[in-house]
Structure 1
């Protein structure tokens, strides 16, 4: 299943994909991998993006604990095992 969502003050685009063995949450962070920090606590991902000397922080609700977190080409991908 594909569920579009928006989060944060800037209405960041987030999409959730549900598969048989995992759920994938993808968010457009529009930043290089080195500029993105993600901490996960249970079903919440706390994302910090460094931009032009400042930081932007937002949270994503996850359907469970994250199994894998990756950022490539400005897209944050969080995989949650079922």
Structure 2
């Protein structure tokens, strides 16, 4: 995954560049960071080797499935702050 080790600003820049390159093309993206695929035409959620959900980001967020819970968890993590005890 090209954005897995990037900060949020860099991820957005890479995503914009990729969006331009892949226009009118079929692309398969394997992602751990779900924000990377939230604009995809179709999202397939695979768990233990089986397809457990598929649809658009909007469709998957409307239900109560694995995608929605994973996406919500990743959004919460973005708000974390690391506190150092000195």
More helix by share: 2
Higher relative contact order (CA 8 A, sep 6+): 1
The TM-score normalised by the length of structure 2 is 0.22
The TM-score normalised by the length of structure 1 is 0.23
Say which one has the larger Rg.
2
More strand by share: 1
